[in-house]
Amino acid sequence: PARGMEVLRVEHAVKQFGGLRAVNDVSFTVNAGEIVGLIGPNGAGKSTMFNLVTGVSPATSGAVTVLGRAAGRLPARTIHRLGLSRTFQHVKQFSELSLLENAMMGGYARARAGMLGSLLHLERREEAALQQAALAQLERVGLRDRAFDLAGNLALGQQRLLEIARALVADPAFLLLDEPAAGLRYGEKAELAALLRKLREEGVTILIVEHDMDLVMGLVDRLVVMNGGQELAQGSPREVRANAAVREAYLGA
Ligand code: ADP
Ligand code: MG
């Protein structure tokens, strides 16, 4: 998508789980080339919002348009093939596979007929190209020298970086990150911020859920604040920091 075009439009989105409205009338947009932060206390509905955007679960009501398509009407893999990749708050790795194999997983779905079909039918040349892409992304997140180590041997922070590498192997236009800095050491956080800025420069659009306010405020163009399923505020980091309702609900002070 060209810079400034809408990559995501969420309009009056509601997600109901039994008697609970995990997302309750939330509206916001994300434009191409932006980093937008989605913040708020635990239980605010941030991860649920990610599931609406990625097509994992349809909204109860309202509209979610991602990369020009209606998210609730398409299977998640179709949205992924359109150019959306994500990482999970609770990291998901194949611990008995190498970092390289884990990173390569990120490329199969967009390569051909889905992961299993691709594993069976990928030509040797494609396999080699995918391996190169995976090594390049491992290099980017600082894990290249551990490419042949098992993912199960990684510390939590490194597992998060591996997830990002895997997401990047799909060459996404739109990247959703759910608490990517949780468990990262100070230096790793700085490297993560630098990587995300670089990706923005390259034109990747990013929606990030993150609790580390120093990291978020220094990185994002705009913020959407949720609380109890509802949208509490939107604006620049400066506007959101100054917002009394946000300070009371989330930022303290
Ligand atoms: P956040 O990511 O902001 O911490 P979540 O989106 O994970 O918040 O959760 C928002 C609310 O929705 C919480 O009260 C959570 O328990 C509830 N919730 C999330 N997913 C489900 C689900 N699949 N079924 C029932 N309740 C859910
Ligand atoms: Mg969450």
Ligand nearest to the CA of 229: 1
pLDDT at 178: 95
DSSP 150: B
Q: Taken in order 238, 239, 244, 249, is the CA torsion positive or negative?
A: negative
Pocket of ligand 1 contains residue 44 by CB under 6 Å: yes
| Tens digit of each residue's pLDDT (9 = 90 or more) over 158-203 | 999 999 999 999 999 999 999 999 989 999 999 899 999 999 999 9
Q: Which residues have CB atoms below 5 A from the ion given as ligand 2?
A: 46-47, 89
Distance (Å, whole) CA 164 – CA 175: 9
| Tens digit of each residue's pLDDT (9 = 90 or more) over 97-111 | 999 999 999 987 766
| Tens digit of each residue's pLDDT (9 = 90 or more) over 188-246 | 999 899 999 999 999 999 999 999 999 999 999 999 999 999 999 999 999 999 999 99
Ligand 1 geometric centre to CA of 50 (Å): 11
Ligand nearest to the CA of 17: 1
Ligand 1 pocket test, pick from 15, 21, 24, 48 with the greatest ligand atom count within 8 Å of Cβ, gives 48
Atom 5 (ligand 1) nearest CA: 45
Ligand 1 geometric centre to CA of 22 (Å): 6
Atom 18 (ligand 1) nearest CA: 22
Ligand 2 geometric centre to CA of 90 (Å): 9
SS3 call for 79: helix
| Tens digit of each residue's pLDDT (9 = 90 or more) over 127-152 | 888 999 999 999 999 999 999 999 99
Q: Which two tokens stand for residue 85?
A: 């990749």
Q: What is the pLDDT averaged over residues 69-96?
A: 90
Mean pLDDT of the chain: 91
Distance (Å, whole) CA 119 – CA 101: 11
Are 62 and 10 a contacting pair, CB within 8 Å? yes
Helix (H) or strand (E) holding 11: strand 6-17
Number of the ligand 1 atom closest to the C-alpha atom of 51: 6
Q: Which two tokens stand for residue 233?
A: 């505020």
Ligand 2 geometric centre to CA of 130 (Å): 31
User: What ipTM was reported for this prediction?
Assistant: 0.98
Where do the domains of the chain lie, and which CATH numbers do they carry?
1-83+172-253 (3.40.50.300), 91-170 (no CATH)
Rg (CA), the chain: 18
Number of the ligand 1 atom closest to the C-alpha atom of 226: 3
pLDDT at 92: 85
Q: Which two tokens stand for residue 118?
A: 């691709």
pLDDT confidence bin for 6, thresholds 50/70/90: very high
pLDDT confidence bin for 124, thresholds 50/70/90: confident
